[in-house]
Chain A
Amino acid sequence: MKTLNRRDFLRTSGAAALFAATPGLAYSQVVGGGGSFTDYRALVCVFMFGGNDSYNMLVPNTNPEYAAYATSRQNLALLQADLLPISPASSGTPDYGLHPAMGGIQSLFQNGNAAFVTNVGPLVEPTNKAQYFDRSVILPPQLFSHNDQQDQWTSLRGNVPSKTGWAGRMADLIRDGVAGQQMATNASLFGANLFQSADETVAYVMGPNGPIQYQGFSTTPGDILNEQRLAFGRVVDAQHDTIYERGFAEVQRRAIDAADTVSTAIANAPVINTAFPQSQLGAQLRTVARLIAVRDELQMQRQVFFVATGGFDSHDNQNQNQPGLLGGISEAISAFHAATAELQIADSVTTFTQSDFGRTLTSNGDGTDHAWAGNQLVVGGAVNGGDLYGSYPLLEIGGPEDVGGGRIIPSTSADQYAATLAQWFGIPNVDLDAVAPNLANFAQRDLGFMIV
């Protein structure tokens, strides 16, 4: 539909004189008070909704291993000749390949700015096939279910109830150290999410292009639109009788408080020359780059951004859709990394992926179903790039790590993955167990993919 702009409104309402032009809000005075951090660091979570088929993202390129893959995957297997070969530092030979649509990630990997964490997924404790079947270990409940496994990745809750996410818990842990920040540590460009939910701090949710401001509000004293903003605020702040009105009003209050500050800052961001793809994810990551560019104006020291894209639930037409899905990830993340390099902040920004689950190695005809472990991508200047971390399974149906249909048991836990990122973010070792509650069940607290 046609959106009516402010000028149209003034013209048609016949109240132009009354509704005097609203000047842009001067960027509100920064409140002083530094934190305990002396540097800036940002984590950017790229969530692939639906469950990324990541055994077609990172594929074995050596002979018996590729053959096992091809035998398992049949009509969904990529041709070995089409793989984009990568040479992990630990082997020095091109023994793995990427999906042919991921040329950008191939370059980042070879330049040492990207790494993969392999065969990682939610676990409560180390688990093998025999233990899985005799239930002698605690398993994450509701394996293979979308929302439950999204919750596992983002909350690391294991088999206990939890209403907070690991990014939310990180924000709570560091909140005294970042008290001067003008924006919440956690910012989402893809809606409310459990990942950033916390007990003490609240994530700020903006749109893919950043926050939007309220129409018809001014902060110029004497302006009727200033009175309008204040009256609106008093309605929001009134005593409300029900939990629903109070919950709604709290969001309105946060929106009023943050929109002007952040919008003004982002509007004054320097031009970023790096081109981003014309995709939902590209738009979100471009906005994240712009927000990072104004980190000093907003006095930000630690930030966690949540961006996401969907369509990965490839039950159907996987061969047709996968190039666009993985190509979209590759292009958007590559552009984002280039933008952070342009801003000379690449060493302080780490982008990482999460997804519901990996997918079955077997086919349902033209697609795959819900499974468990998968491979995740980490990109940034602080990444010990050009290598794989964790063990890569033998992709064999009925093999030692398959619990049926090509559902592979994780050999590295999502807790270890999160803890490694959290440690780089500045969470002290002693607090990592609060971020990743089942970390103590695993020998390795740091997977080594971040430069510390």
Chain B
Amino acid sequence: MIANRTVTLLTSVLLGVAGCGGGGGSSEPPPPPPPPPVTKVEAFQLLNQATFGATESESLSVIAMRQERWIDDQMAKPVSEQLPHMLSLPPPQFMGQLHTDRVDIWFRNSLWGEDQLRQRVAFALSEITVVSQLGALQGRPFAVADYYDMLARNAFGNYRDLIGEVTLHPAMGVYLSMLGNRAPNLALNIRPDENYARELMQLFSIGLVELNIDGTDALDGNNQPVPTYDQEIIEGFAHVFTGWTWRGSPSFGSGRVPTSSQYFPMEHWPAFHDTGEKTLLRGTVLSAGQTGEQDLNDALDNIFDHPNVGPFMAIRLIQRLTTSNPSPGYVRRVAEVFNNNGSGVRGDLGAVVKAILLDPEASPAMAMEIDGKVKEPLLRLTQLFKAYDASSASGRYPLVASYILFGQGPLQSPSVFNFFSPFFAPAGEIRDSSLVAPELEIATEYLNTQYTNYMFFQAFGLNHTNEDLDEDDIFIDFQEEMDVATDIGALIDMVADKLLGGDISDTLRTEIAGMLERIPETDAALRAAETIYFVTTSPEYAYQR
């Protein structure tokens, strides 16, 4: 996927697809001019990469501060958390109520939290180190909420701390069945559970094959990829991860536990830990007789020290934040920051996030047809909500059916493999060019139609002019659009400014104008709704620059 980028770049230049004629290749590059002012389009670009949707007001901050200071400022903001809200609620009225509350506080924090960048990175991490409400955690809403808070707290921390907390979080313990995992009993053909051991390596840290620093596969003498681990190593880690259960549990692995067990790290029960030797990655063997904590720390260090982690996490985070098909150079630059943040520290995620967002490839001067990515459907929704001050009479955002409506919801993945695969390539030019477009895996005919219909109802029905809304109906406010609705050009400009940073295609503008001309100018609400409907369902809105 990555090697092909150069070819595509070349093709784009030769064919003039990128719209910037040749000419280059002269001798001495001129000294760099002072940086020009940040444009609104550039500010929108960063904000769509780094928040839950660009707004005009936030774009003014980016323009005033420039990108780097804006990022630094964001990283200093305190964490918006879910658990305190969850614990403040009265006892739930019905089963599942608390997951609705969890989704509600996710929307509040994601839409209006000051720590937008931290929340966005937490969301990205929640699609890498995945746990989900759907499945074994249905009855553990506090664990799921606290897991997300844990990701948010560690978003700019160290990766080693992050996987330490991920590993011992009871939400992960339940989700990938490390909780209650015990030493073998050979007489009964019982051996440790391999679930967490396998997915930690495959999905959270190093992946299946050895990587070069630039994210390309490191090949052996026969040009074949080299597996990072085998079954023996999985079993080694499976034996490491024995002896952990709920904090305060009356018995190992089961029994009624207090609610607080859902949001404290798992507790070690030495009697259930395997004390034998364990074979780990790259020839490391843990000696017999270590404590469970020693084994755990050594094993996580063993993973953390694997050279794959930098390029692996670089690719995963780049794909979540900026582009689906980073060049090897982009991956290398970010992976090198992972390996050393400039102060000799390995695994500094804050430095990694900053490197991803400030890399030239995140906002190329000459955009190519493979730059950027498909905007995740949930982010298309939050962007609209932010731009149009979406709220409900109750103040709640109880969109617990998000995963059904949009194919995606906060900690609502169908499995640990996330809503879509990082390798997904739809048939046609993307697959033929060995490129990927992960988000298109959930842009099926069915889900795209469902999303489009949701935007239809949101624009035409769930808006501030509707006097029949229920208290939990989330409505958008387009009064400003109505105020200019007699002027079709001004109306389209306003919506394009709010949702596209002003960068609207001629076709979309023309088609919206054609529709607006059919709507009487006295029907301001319908004109405003029509414009918003067309923009939010367009391919260009579904594209993150």
For A404, the closest partner residue in chain B by CB is: B231
B198 interface contact, C-beta 8 A: yes
A271 interface contact, C-beta 8 A: no
- Structural contact, A212 and B540, CB atoms closer than 8 A: no
Known A244-B374, A245-B540, A248-B440: A255·B449 in contact at CB below 8 Å? yes
The CA-CA distance from A405 to B191 in the complex, in Å, is 8
- Structural contact, A214 and B440, CB atoms closer than 8 A: no
- Structural contact, B191 and A214, CB atoms closer than 8 A: no
Known A148-B208, A213-B449: A15·B399 in contact at CB below 8 Å? no
Question: Majority SS of interface residues in chain B?
Answer: loop
- Structural contact, B539 and A369, CB atoms closer than 8 A: no
- Structural contact, A364 and B428, CB atoms closer than 8 A: no
The CA-CA distance from A2 to B468 in the complex, in Å, is 12
* Contact pick for A310, options B192, B414, B433, B441, CB 8 Å: B414
Known A12-B468, A75-B188, A192-B444: A215·B428 in contact at CB below 8 Å? no
Q: How many residues of A contact B (CB 8 A)?
A: 90
> In angstroms, how far is the closest chain A Cβ from the Cβ of B238?
8
Q: Which of B489-541 contact A (CB under 8 A)?
A: 505, 507-508, 511-512, 514-515, 518-520, 523, 525-526, 529, 533-534, 537-540
CB neighbours of B370 from chain A (8 A): 242-243
* Contact pick for B526, options A15, A191, A192, A370, CB 8 Å: A15
- Structural contact, A9 and B518, CB atoms closer than 8 A: no
> In angstroms, how far is the closest chain B Cβ from the Cβ of A257?
9
The CA-CA distance from A102 to B208 in the complex, in Å, is 37
Q: How many residues of B contact A (CB 8 A)?
A: 96
Q: Which of A130-147 contact B (CB under 8 A)?
A: 141-147
* Contact pick for B195, options A206, A315, A363, CB 8 Å: A315
> In angstroms, how far is the closest chain B Cβ from the Cβ of A325?
13
- Structural contact, B440 and A228, CB atoms closer than 8 A: no
> In angstroms, how far is the closest chain B Cβ from the Cβ of A116?
25
For B371, the closest partner residue in chain A by CB is: A242
CB neighbours of B446 from chain A (8 A): 191, 205-207, 211-212, 255
The CA-CA distance from A397 to B512 in the complex, in Å, is 68
B453 interface contact, C-beta 8 A: yes
A204 interface contact, C-beta 8 A: yes
- Structural contact, A163 and B425, CB atoms closer than 8 A: yes
- Structural contact, A369 and B453, CB atoms closer than 8 A: no
The CA-CA distance from A265 to B188 in the complex, in Å, is 56
* Contact pick for A252, options B324, B431, B437, B539, CB 8 Å: B539
- Structural contact, A244 and B442, CB atoms closer than 8 A: no
The CA-CA distance from A104 to B179 in the complex, in Å, is 36
- Structural contact, A4 and B449, CB atoms closer than 8 A: no
- Structural contact, A147 and B542, CB atoms closer than 8 A: no
For B522, the closest partner residue in chain A by CB is: A14
- Structural contact, B188 and A18, CB atoms closer than 8 A: no
CB neighbours of A192 from chain B (8 A): 424, 426, 441-442, 444
Query: Which segment of B153-161, B300-308, B329-337, B455-463 sits at the interface?
Result: B455-463
A240 interface contact, C-beta 8 A: yes
CB < 8 Å A-B pair total: 252
Q: Which of A1-39 contact B (CB under 8 A)?
A: 1-4, 8-9, 11-15, 18
A231 interface contact, C-beta 8 A: yes
A440 interface contact, C-beta 8 A: no
Q: Which of B428-455 contact A (CB under 8 A)?
A: 428-431, 433, 435, 437, 440-450, 452-453
- Structural contact, A364 and B398, CB atoms closer than 8 A: no
The CA-CA distance from A235 to B514 in the complex, in Å, is 12
- Structural contact, B193 and A147, CB atoms closer than 8 A: no
CB neighbours of A4 from chain B (8 A): 457, 461-462, 473
B112 interface contact, C-beta 8 A: no
Q: Which of B183-220 contact A (CB under 8 A)?
A: 188-195, 198, 202, 208
The CA-CA distance from A250 to B398 in the complex, in Å, is 32
CB neighbours of B140 from chain A (8 A): none
B372 interface contact, C-beta 8 A: yes
- Structural contact, A145 and B449, CB atoms closer than 8 A: no
- Structural contact, B444 and A13, CB atoms closer than 8 A: no
Known A73-B189, A247-B440, A258-B445: A235·B543 in contact at CB below 8 Å? no
Known A8-B461, A235-B539: A14·B523 in contact at CB below 8 Å? yes
CB neighbours of B188 from chain A (8 A): 74-75, 363
- Structural contact, A259 and B445, CB atoms closer than 8 A: yes
CB neighbours of B190 from chain A (8 A): 74-75, 362-365
Q: Which of A342-377 contact B (CB under 8 A)?
A: 361-367, 369-370
- Structural contact, A13 and B460, CB atoms closer than 8 A: yes
B467 interface contact, C-beta 8 A: yes
Known A12-B461, A227-B515, A242-B370: A18·B523 in contact at CB below 8 Å? yes
B109 interface contact, C-beta 8 A: no
B93 interface contact, C-beta 8 A: no
Give 26 CB contacts A-B under 8 Å.
A1-B398, A9-B457, A12-B465, A12-B466, A18-B520, A142-B208, A145-B202, A145-B208, A214-B449, A215-B453, A216-B456, A231-B534, A234-B507, A235-B534, A242-B372, A243-B433, A244-B543, A245-B543, A246-B539, A248-B542, A315-B176, A315-B194, A316-B177, A364-B191, A365-B180, A397-B189
**Chain A interfacial positions (CB closer than 8 Å to B):** 1-4, 8-9, 11-15, 18, 49-50, 71-75, 141-148, 163, 188, 191-192, 197-199, 202, 204-207, 211-216, 224, 227-228, 231-232, 234-236, 238-252, 254-255, 258-259, 310-311, 313, 315-316, 361-367, 369-370, 397, 404-406
Extra pairs beyond A238-B507, A369-B194 (16, CB < 8 Å): A1-B401, A4-B473, A12-B465, A18-B519, A205-B444, A211-B449, A235-B539, A244-B324, A245-B542, A247-B374, A310-B415, A313-B415, A363-B189, A364-B191, A365-B253, A370-B198
- Top 6 A-B residue pairs of the complex, sorted by shortest distance between their CB atoms: A205-B444, A255-B445, A364-B193, A238-B507, A4-B461, A245-B539
